Amino acid sequence: MGVGVFDSGVGGLSVLQALRAELPHGNFIYIADSGHAPYGERDQAHVVARSRALTAHLLDQGVQALVIACNTATAAAIDLLRAEHPQLPIIGVEPALKPAAALSKTGRVGVMATRSTLGSSRFRALLDSLGMQAEFVLQPCDGLAEAIERDAHNLASPQTATEIIAACARHTRAMGRFGLKDGEIDTLVLGCTHYPFAAAVLRDLIGPDVQLVDTGEAVARQTRLRLAGAVPPPLADSAPGRISLFSTGPAARLQAAARRWLEFDGPVKTLHF
């Protein structure tokens, strides 16, 4: 029993971190689909097929709710999954354009996300719904999620850290000037759950004044609200929650990432599908 959470890899740990803070007594089953990643530069059919398979597996484990801790999978599959599982509360992750537009003073907002998220009709509809609230500078960040995955695997080696810095530098440079002056980007949306793990690198590149906006905490709050009416104990009782980690790829990578970013030192089981 508990909440199922999945991502293409280690990125969803940034959401799990927030979920754990919001629901300290909740049980979570996390799957990193590293054996079939990255999602962001693959076709939609692949992401939909994987999202369905992971959801089916989590339902077999008895989860009461599902958090899609991946912007790319949310964009590709959340509507379909909700239609297929009408009884299951499903919470997704979307680039936080609206909060970012509200925060921005210059009216120029950068959006970093995967190519697949930015190209999706769901993202397009979100953008259209905001009209002229801000000018959004969209940057498909090819290679960045993969570099973050490799870094988790190689336990933060200097070489993988350099890859992350190079990818962040390339993508921020492509977006233009950052800062608080007219015409500069003063707010940057992290529209992929991997990117919060590169926040320090981004901060060095764009300066101290630019606001970084990610979605982990908002998703965790929304999950708590959705579960409030629907879930009886154990989520509500006082026992400490349990976290179970699974990966369709290298178990060592998820284990290292969970230790580093979640300060959670549990076993990781490998899934073969």
Catalytic residue numbers, as ranges: 70, 192
Q: What are the two backbone dihedrals, phi and then psi, of residue 251, each rounded to the nearest 5 degrees? A: -65, -35
To ligand DGL, the closest distance from the beta carbon of 256 in angstroms equals 17
Residues in 104-133 at the binding interface with ligand DGL, rule: CB under 6 A: 114, 117
Q: Which of 50, 108, 194, 253 binds ligand DGL (CB under 6 A)?
A: 194
Residues in 55-94 at the binding interface with ligand DGL, rule: CB under 6 A: 70-72
CA distances 29 to 5, 68, 126, Å, are 6, 12, 29
Total residues at interface with ligand DGL (CB under 6 A): 17
Structure tokens at 248: 């369709």
Return the range that interacts with ligand DGL (CB under 6 A); candidates 35-43, 128-136, 165-173, 237-245.
Answer: 35-43
Residue nearest to ligand DGL (CB): 40
To ligand DGL, the closest distance from the beta carbon of 63 in angstroms equals 20
Structure tokens at 144: 């960045």
- Sign of the dihedral defined by the CA atoms of residues 193, 238, 268, 66, in that order: negative
Rounded to an integer, what distance in angstroms lies between the CA atom of residue 225 and that of residue 168? Answer: 34
Told to check if 11 binds ligand DGL by CB under 6 A, we report yes
| Burial tier of 91 (Cβ tally within 10 Å: 0-12, 13-18, 19+) | buried
Told to check if 215 binds ligand DGL by CB under 6 A, we report no
Q: Which of 193, 223, 247, 248 binds ligand DGL (CB under 6 A)?
A: 193
Rounded to an integer, what distance in angstroms lies between the CA atom of residue 66 and that of residue 55? Answer: 8
* Closer Cβ to ligand DGL, 219 or 235, answer by number: 219
Buried b or exposed e, range 156-173, using 16+ CB within 10 angstroms: eeeebeebbbebbeebbe
Q: Which of 6, 28, 39, 123 binds ligand DGL (CB under 6 A)?
A: 39
The residue type at 80: L
> Using CB under 6 A as the criterion, which residues of the chain lie in contact with ligand DGL when the complex forms?
7-9, 11, 37-40, 70-72, 114, 117, 145, 192-194
